Amino acid sequence: MNQDRLRLDLASLADEVAPVDLRDRALRTSRRLGIQRVVATSAAALVLLGAATGTALAIRPNGQGPAPSPATTSSGPPVEVTPTPTPSKSPSKGTTPSKGTTPSKGTTPSNTGRPSGKQTLVLGPDGLGALKLGMSKKEAAATGLISDFQRFDASVWPGCPNRAEMKGGGGAVWLSTRLGVASIEPRAEVRTAEGIRVGSPRADVLRAYPTWRPVDGNGTPGEDGRGLVPVPGNPDAKFRIVIQNGKVSSVGLQFAQQDCYE
């Protein structure tokens, strides 16, 4: 009785259960998973696109750049920056020094009056540098411009028995027993204040000293010889200028009333 009923129940249950196609179920499951993947991928893409758009708007809102961040203020002491000096450019090889840098022969001498090399000293109106007309023997020696005085035969040079050589270029200084230093005749490179020096042509001498005449011969300006001319600025002195072959061979300064020679 019970067994029959059990069979009936199982048969009834079997009628109610529809046959299942496993292949169809697998296809439906696969389509469902594919749809889910597409939805998930689309959602992720939308999220990334939204994030990128938001970032772009945050970086450049309304076409403007990001606001500058405030500068960090250091609490330490300020640091002094020393600029590095730029080395000067070396002169090009073609640079030629100015001709004006070479001193001319007419350069004003130093106050010491000591002959030095090719330096041109000015003779007159009262001496040569520190050596002056009228100095005593001791004063002249103290200038350091002359050697020791040597005594000459008084019968030959009665008024000027003492003569000293000039240092640094030669020449002579005559010492009068009455006048002191009476004549200065340097052989070094000297010039008068009017520009006359050894080698000056006769025309320059006559232009500077129109009264120059040789004391010997006929006394005409065209002759060679020695002549005396007044010294501008010193009425008690004269220049003794000797011309040979049309050019000056020596220039001296002496007292107008010297008693050494001539």
Q: Is the confidence at residue 100, as pLDDT, over 60?
A: no
Higher-pLDDT residue of 31 and 145 is 145
Structure-block tokens of residue 259: 């008693």
Q: Is the confidence at residue 131, as pLDDT, over 90?
A: yes
pTM equals 0.55
Percentage of the chain modeled with pLDDT above 70: 65
Phi and psi of 80, rounded to 5°? -85, 125
pLDDT, one tens digit per residue, over 174-233 is 999 999 999 999 987 899 999 999 999 999 999 999 999 998 877 788 889 999 999 999
pLDDT at 1: 55
Give the three-state DSSP class for 69: coil
What is the average pLDDT across 20-33?
A: 68
Q: Is the confidence at residue 61, as pLDDT, over 60?
A: no
What is the average pLDDT across 240-253?
A: 95
pLDDT at 2: 63
Percentage of the chain modeled with pLDDT above 90: 42
pLDDT at 92: 45
pLDDT at 26: 67
Give the three-state DSSP class for 175: strand
Q: How many CB atoms lie within 10 A of CB 183?
A: 22
Phi and psi of 187, rounded to 5°? -105, -10
Q: Is the confidence at residue 153, as pLDDT, over 90?
A: no
How many angstroms separate the CA atoms of 262 and 226, rounded?
11
What is the average pLDDT across 132-158?
A: 89
Q: Are 229 and 241 in contact (CB under 8 A)?
A: yes
Structure-block tokens of residue 6: 């059990």
Q: Is the confidence at residue 121, as pLDDT, over 50?
A: yes
